[in-house]
Amino acid sequence: MLRALIFAGAFALPLSAAAFTGGDLNKLCTKTDVASRSACAAYIEGAADGIFNTIDAIGGTTGPRVGQYFCLPPDARSAQLTDAVRKYIAENPTAAGYNASTAISLGLGKAFPCKSGG
């Protein structure tokens, strides 16, 4: 039995290494069940937080900087972030093939651009 589990796991591993795309994210976000909607929002918020922290580590996020993709207002809500990303993917069909975090960066950048002169 253990040998069968190891064998099955060896075949599953390469599949799990595949990139989660903007299209995959959009499919998840389109579902109406609570678990899927929560997973969608959590993925977008987590990616946004990761992108923000990466930018902070390489030069700051207190205003528009080279490489800063978006500037979220302090009162931004989860639904606003999700709507922005889904709208971007809908308006830019090639974004469905992008890595999900890239689609998130671009979608949030379109909806929440940084103001110049910050």
Quick: pLDDT tens for 14-70: 444 568 999 999 999 999 999 999 999 999 999 998 887 777 666 655 554 555 678
- Which of 58-67, 86-95, 101-110 shows the lowest mean pLDDT across its residues? 58-67
- Domain limits for position 88: 19-111
Residues 20, 97: Cα–Cα separation, whole Å: 9
Q: What is the pLDDT of residue 20?
A: 92
Domain presence at residue 59: yes
Q: What is the pLDDT of residue 91?
A: 96
Between residues 98 and 63, the one the model is more confident about: 98
Identify any residues that bridge with 81 across adjacent strands, giving them in sequence order.
Answer: none
Which two tokens mark 114?
């940084």
> The domain spanning residue 74 has which CATH number?
1.10.890.40
Contact 86, 108 (CB under 8 A): no
Domain presence at residue 34: yes
> How many structural domains are present in the chain?
1
Please provide the size of the chain in residues.
Answer: 118
